[in-house]
Amino acid sequence: MEIKLLSHELALVTGAASGIGRGIAAALAREGARVALCDIDVPAGEDAAAALRREGCDAVFMAADLAALDGVERLLKDDLARFGTPSILVHAASPRRMEADNILSVDTETWDRMLAVNVRSGFLLAREIARSMMNKSIRGRMLFTTSLHAESPRNLPHYSAAKAAQTMVVKELAKALGPHGIRVNAIAPGAVPGGGFDASGAGIERLIRCTSLRRLGTPEDIAGMAVALLVDRFSAYVTGTTVVVDGGMALHNWLEPAEL
Which of the pair, 96 or 197, is modelled with greater confidence? 96
Mind telling me the catalytic residues? Answer: 159
Domain-located, residue 1:
no
| Full domain range(s) for residue 143 | 10-251
CB 48 within 8 A of CB 29: no
How many CA atoms lie less than 13 Å away from 97 in the CB half-sphere? 28
CATH of the domain at 201: 3.40.50.720
Domain-located, residue 188:
yes
Beta bridge partners of 11: 35, 88
Domain-located, residue 149:
yes
**Summary mean pLDDT of the chain:** 90
Q: How many CB atoms lie within 10 A of CB 51?
A: 14
Which of the pair, 78 or 69, is modelled with greater confidence? 69
Domain-located, residue 44:
yes
- DSSP at 9: -
Q: How far apart are CA 60 and CA 38, in angstroms?
A: 9
Domain-located, residue 207:
yes
- DSSP at 194: B
The model's confidence at residue 84, banded by pLDDT at 50, 70 and 90, is: very high
Domain count, the chain: 1
With H, G, I as helix, E, B as strand and everything else as coil, classify residue 167: helix
Domain-located, residue 257:
no
Domain-located, residue 108:
yes
Average pLDDT over residues 170-175: 98
Q: How far apart are CA 141 and CA 152, in angstroms?
A: 27
Domain-located, residue 92:
yes
> In this predicted model, what pLDDT tens digit does every residue of 21-67 receive, in sequence order?
999 999 999 999 999 999 999 999 999 999 999 999 999 999 999 99
Q: How many CB atoms lie within 10 A of CB 128?
A: 16
**pLDDT for the residue numbered 260:** 45
Q: How many CB atoms lie within 10 A of CB 260?
A: 3
